[in-house]
Amino acid sequence: SLSLVSHALLTAFVPSPSLPPMPGTPSLPTSASPPPSCSSNRLRAIKIPTVSFSPDELNTTAMGEFGDYIRKVFPAVFSAKFIQHEVIGEYSHLFTVQGSNLDLQPYMLLAHLDVVPASPERWVVHPFSAEELDGFIYGRGTVDNKNSAMGILQALEFLLRRNYRPQRSFYVGIGHDEEVSGHKGAIKMVDELEDRGVKLSFLLDEGSVILDGVVQGIKKPVALIGITEKGAMTVELSVEQDPGHSSVPPKETSIGILSAAVFKLEQNPMPNRFGYGPEIMTFEHLATEFSFPLNLIMTNLWLFSPIVSRILQKNPTTNAIVRTTTAVTMFHAGIKSNVIPPSAKATVNFRIHPSQTVEEVLEIVKNTIADERVKIELVDAFDPLPVSPWHDQALGVQIFRQTLLDVFPDVGSIAPGICIGNTDSRHYRNLTDAIYRFNPVIFKQDDMPRVHGLNERISVKGYEKQVEFLFQLIQNSDIEKLPEPHSDFHDL
Ligand X SMILES: CCCCCCCC/C=C\CCCCCCCC(=O)N[C@@H](CC(N)=O)C(=O)O
| Segment interacting with Zn ion (CB under 5 A) among 138-146, 326-334, 340-348, 391-399 | 138-146
Helix (H) or strand (E) holding 404: helix 395-407
Please state the closest distance from residue 236 (CB atom) to Zn ion, in A: 22
Answer for the pair 167, 101: CB distance below 8 angstroms, yes or no: yes
DSSP-assigned letters across all residues of 160-220 = HHTT---SS-EEEEEES-GGGTSTTTHHHHHHHHHHTT---S-EEESS--EESS-STT--S
Q: Which is nearer to ligand X, 299 or 317 (CB)?
A: 317
Nearer to ligand X, 157 or 178 (CB): 178
Residues in region 186-225 near Zn ion by CB under 5 A: 206
Instruction: Tell me the C-alpha distance between 258 and 267, whole Å.
Output: 14
User: 8, 215, 255, 297: which one contacts ligand X (CB under 6 A)?
Assistant: 215
- Least separation in angstroms between residue 419's CB and ligand X is 6
Kindly state the smallest distance separating residue 487's Cβ from ligand X, in Å: 27
Phi, psi of 18, rounded to the nearest 5 degrees: -95, 75
Site for ligand X in 95-124 (CB under 6 A): none
Closest to ligand X by CB, 7 vs 323, is 323
Residue 47 or 140: the one with the smaller Cβ distance to Zn ion is 140
Q: Which residue, 74 or 283, has its beta carbon nearer to ligand X?
A: 283
Catalytic residues: 114, 178
Question: Of these, 238, 254, 326, 423, which contacts ligand X (CB under 6 A)?
Answer: 423
**Among the residue ranges 68-76, 257-265, 314-322, 336-344, the one whose residues contact ligand X (CB under 6 A):** 314-322
Calculate ∠ Cα 205-208-210, nearest 5°. 120
Q: Which does 422 bind (CB under 5 to 8 A by kind): Zn ion, ligand X, none?
A: ligand X
Question: What mask, x for binding ligand X by CB under 6 A, covers residues 178 to 207?
Answer: xx--------------------------xx
Q: Return the SS3 of 322.
A: helix
Cα 95 to Cα 173: distance, rounded to the nearest angstrom: 7
403-422: which residues touch ligand X (CB under 6 A)? 419-422
Q: Compute the residue count for the chain.
A: 492
Which residues are bridge partners to 459 per DSSP?
136
Q: Which stretch binds ligand X (CB under 6 A): 233-241, 264-272, 316-324, 467-475?
A: 316-324
The least distance separating ligand X from the CB of residue 420, rounded to whole angstroms, comes to 6
Instruction: Look at residue 317 and give the partner it binds from Zn ion, ligand X, none, a contact being a CB closer than 5 to 8 Å depending on partner kind.
Output: ligand X
Are residues 107 and 202 in contact, defined by beta-carbon separation less than 8 angstroms? yes
Count interface residues toward ligand X (CB under 6 A): 19
CA-wise closest residue to 54 among 295, 260, 345, 329: 329
The whole-angstrom separation of Cα 72 and Cα 97 is: 19
* Coil/strand/helix, residue 221: coil
In terms of CB distance, is 258 or 321 closer to Zn ion?
Answer: 321
User: 430-459: which residues touch ligand X (CB under 6 A)?
Assistant: 443, 451
Position 144 contacts Zn ion (CB under 5 A): yes
Handedness of CA 424, 317, 294, 212 (dihedral sign): positive
From CA 256, how far away is CA 362, in angstroms rounded?
A: 22
Q: What span, in angstroms and rounded, lies between the C-alpha atoms of 454 and 138?
A: 10
Q: Which residues bind ligand X (CB under 6 A)?
A: 144, 178-179, 206-209, 215, 282, 317-318, 321, 419-423, 443, 451
Q: Which residues bind Zn ion (CB under 5 A)?
A: 144-145, 206
